[in-house]
Amino acid sequence: MEHGALSPSHLKDACFLVGRAFGVRNLGRMLYEITLIESNAGQTKSQFGGVCSVSHYQFGLMQHHHSFYEYRKEILKAFGMDLKLIKFAQLASNPTLSLIVVGAWILANVNSVPKKRITRANLFAKWWRSIEPAEYMKRTLELG
């Protein structure tokens, strides 16, 4: 396992736990899809830091986005972690922190997470990394 993830099933559980902490339907599902694409659910080393492959540049954008800290209280309550205190270096070895910052980023840019996987594929391409919807669908088929 890479990035501190214990197993794909533990990582999947963490994705849904983080999604519930934000209180946003389908966020956990999308987080797991991101880990499938970026690190094969924690099985391989991602291009950048953590199971979601957050780059240093992206992390900087996140921290300066006007809505990034909107769910700060929910995260503090659920995990005892202040979103403002998360450091980039922590993302590489702590899957939960990686999931938290990516969840905050997604929700800073959209009002809701779509139910349909194809619509999440388009959302991923817009707010995360450009990938063809067909490739997204193929790589996240496990979740179906």
pLDDT digits (tens, 9 = 90+) for 16-68: 999 999 999 999 999 999 999 999 988 888 778 789 999 999 999 999 999 99
Question: Which range marks the domain in which residue 75 is found?
Answer: 8-139
The rounded mean pLDDT for the chain is 91
Q: Is residue 134 in a domain?
A: yes
Q: What is the model's pLDDT at position 144?
A: 47
> Is 13 a domain residue?
yes
Q: How many domains does the chain have?
A: 1
Separation between Cα atoms, residue 64 and residue 132, nearest integer Å: 28
Q: What is the pLDDT of residue 1?
A: 55
Q: For residue 84, what is the DSSP state?
A: G
Check if the beta carbon of residue 48 is closer than 8 Å to that of residue 56. Answer: yes
Question: What size, in residues, is the chain?
Answer: 144
pTM comes to: 0.91
Mean pLDDT of 7-19: 94
Apex 45 CA angle, 43 and 51, nearest 5: 75
pLDDT at residue number 70: 95
Contact 49, 91 (CB under 8 A): yes
Domain assignment present for residue 44? The answer is: yes
What mean pLDDT comes out for the span 109-124? 93
- For residue 33, is it within any domain? yes
